[in-house]
Structure formats: C-alpha cells, structure tokens
Amino acid sequence: MNKIYNFSAGPSMIPKDVLVQYKKEFYNWKNLGASVIEVSHRSFEFMRVIEECEKNLRFLMNIPNNYHVLFFSGGARGQFSAIPMNLIKKNEFADYICSGYWSNAAFKEAKKYCFPKKINVIENHNNIVNVTPFSKWKLNKKSSYVHYCPNETLEGIEIREEPNFLDKIIIGDFSSTILSRCIDIKKYGLIYASAQKNISAAGITLVIIREDLITSEKKLVPSILDYNIAINHQSMFNTPVTLSWYLAGLVFKWLINKGGVKKIEQDNKVKANLLYKKIDDTNFYINNINKKYRSYMNVPFYLKNEKLNNIFIKEAQSFGLYALKGHKIVGGIRASIYNAMPIEGVKKLIKFMNYFEEKYR
Ligand SMILES: *Cc1c(COP(=O)(O)O)cnc(C)c1O
C-alpha cells in the first residue's frame, strides 16, 4: 500500500487495523459465505453487531442507563431538523449558539420549525479569535433548549469546557469531536454526531438522548427521524446503513484496544500541540485562534504569503500528505487529525512544513 497520510475532514481516515479486518472478512463474514453488506439487518449475526456496538460505545463514553443510544440515517444535517421537530412545539423558542459554519447551519434549519434565537459567541480582539465564555451567553429564559457545536470543523474552534446550565437542556453537535476526549454525558440532554469523522464511514448518525426528553405526544415528524419510533424499533424502522454500522463496531473495538477515550485524548493532545507549536514557532504559518479554543481535531492555518497556500497543498500531496486544502469558505490549509491519524502523520506534516518554509521563505 502507498504510504500516504490522509488529512481529510470527512469522510476521513479509518484506522488501518479496521480496514485490514474489513478486507479480510469482506467476502465471507462470520463464515456465512456472504458479505456483511449482503445479510439481513435482522439476522442473528447482524443483531449481535448492533448489540455489541451499543455496549462498547456505552463503555467508551460512560453513558448512563437513563440515556438511549440511537442510530439514524441522514447525517448530522438530518438531526438539524429532527431536533426541533422532536423536542419542541411550533412557535416555541430555542437558543442557537453560533460559533462557526456548522452551528449557523443548524440555526438556519431550525428556523423552519421554531423560533431559534441566534447567539453569536465569536469575538475578535486584536486579530485573535475568541469565544465568549458560557457565563456570558445571553440565553432566552423561555427557550426549550440550547444548541451548540463544541467543535467547529471548518474554523477549527473547539469549546472543550463543558456547559453547566441549571434548568437548561443542552444539545451538542459532536460530529467532529466525539470520542476524541472524555465528556460527561450527564451535562447534556442530547448529543449527536455524523459518522464520517471519528466513528465510521459516512452513513449512520449517532444520537444519545436522555430518556425524559422522549414524549409520546403526537408530532408532525417524519417517521425515520422520530425519536420515539427509533427507540421502539431499535433504530431499525427503515433499513439502516449496515456497512457504516458494522464499521463503527470495529472502530469502537479498536478504540477499546487502544486504551479507550482517556488514552486517545492524551494522544490527540500531543498530536495537536506538536502541530500548533510548529505553526507558532514561525511567522511563516498563521493560526490566530486563542490557544484555549484551538481544536485538537481540525487544525487550520494559512501561509503569511497567501499566494503560497495552493503551492503548499500541491507539493504536500506529492510528499504523501493528502487532503490538506481548507474548506472553500475559509480557505487556507486544514489538517484534520482525528483519532485514526497516527502521530507519525503529524510528524511527517511538520517535516514538510519545515522543508517548505526553507524553500520559500
Ligand atoms: C461534518 C459535520 C456535519 C455534517 O454532517 P453530515 O453527515 O454531512 O450531515 C455537521 N456538523 C459538524 C460539526 C460536522 O463536522
């Protein structure tokens, strides 16, 4: 196999051990003579996959018993609609904390179903990007919930501190930070994540929801996004994305073998700090986010001489460093270094950054 490192923001790297196992059992899964993608989602073998998947995820994230673990299709964007549709009545209020592209997208979608209040928490002081601390968030007293995005994948802004609001239901879009660090589920009413960053191949979407938020009240919700129906059908009201679910199971086992979330959190911190140190050590590369809010998962930066950005991306590719182009909305470079990115990949990127700087300085 060609030795490259893949810095794609999503779909993104899957741990190599997982891909190897996937390939090994692809044609003849569990000795059934059929592939995992060819068997019924209700078969004995597949039901074992989903049971283990939930059990291992509960173990990894320390999910209390009064939370349901659900899987949907439709990605995180599907949940942008599902959340207001399931959790509030028409004409009710909800707080939407806006810290970047994805939290804004969630806010825009919510406008179809309720009255979301947009609360901007990004501040710019002396050209440094900062986040307003929780204590200063101007929440609406009458809001049904508070939605925020703890890791903005495009901008590389991460709020690692956990919210502590009494009497508020906190909802978090954890798509690009789930399983990268320990979190206290009890602080949240609902958290969700699309799969293609730290969980699996694109397809399934994870929702963890506290049971008291589930009502049997009749609401106009498409059945495939209805939390009640999902619970009553073990997340199989329609045919689930079995391949993505199966791969998630392999990734969870891989993570347990790696030492769990606490261990991977330490590794992630080391990886990210190495890269930020390189960026800060020179004025050739720039990231102007307050250190406290720099993402461990998505590291965006740009070259001081912006004309060099595209040359950087092209030369990096021939160096075996793939998908470093920043999202077109923010431009520049972005290195996504999710759980599956080994530290060797980060070191190779830094080596290339040193070389590039020497060459073009
Ligand atoms: C990737 C991402 C999404 C979108 O996920 P889809 O599966 O494409 O709907 C939403 N929010 C965040 C924070 C993301 O990183």
Residue 197 a catalytic site member: yes
Q: What is the mean pLDDT of the chain?
A: 96
Task: Note the Cα 88 to chain centre separation in Å.
Answer: 24
Dist. CA 76 → ligand 1 center (Å): 5
Residue 185 above 70 pLDDT? yes
Q: Is the CB of 298 under 6 A from ligand 1?
A: no
Q: Indicate the range of 165-169, 271-275, 311-315 predicted with least confidence.
A: 165-169
Dist. CA 281 → ligand 1 center (Å): 32
Using CA atoms in the order 12, 15, 19, 22, what is the torsion angle rounded to 10 degrees?
-110
Q: Which tens digits make up the pLDDT trace of 29-42? A: 999 999 999 999 99
Q: Is the CB of 76 under 6 A from ligand 1?
A: yes
pTM: 0.97
Q: Is the CB of 177 under 6 A from ligand 1?
A: no
Task: Say which CATH topology domain 17-257 has.
Answer: Aspartate Aminotransferase; domain 2 (3.40.640)
Residue 1 above 90 pLDDT? no
The set of residues, in sequence order, having a beta carbon less than 8 Å from that of 307 and lying 6+ positions away, is none
> Domain-by-domain residue ranges, the chain?
5-15+260-360, 17-257
Q: Is the CB of 153 under 6 A from ligand 1?
A: yes
- Taking the alpha carbons of 18, 182, 263, 334 in that order, is the dihedral positive or negative? positive
Residue 17 a catalytic site member: no
Predicted pLDDT of residue 219 = 82
Q: Whose CA is nearest to atom 10 of ligand 1?
A: 76
Catalytic residue among 95, 173, 271, 325: 173
Q: 5-15+260-360 belongs to which CATH class?
A: alpha beta
Mean pLDDT of 104-121: 96
Mean pLDDT of 276-296: 97
Return the best residue to mutate from 98, 102, 151 for the ligand 1 pocket (most ligand atoms within 8 A of CB). 102
Catalytic residue among 29, 95, 117, 197: 197
The per-residue b/e assignment along 230-250, b for 16 or more CB within 10 angstroms, e otherwise, is bbeebbbbeebbbbbbbbbbb
Dist. CA 194 → ligand 1 center (Å): 6
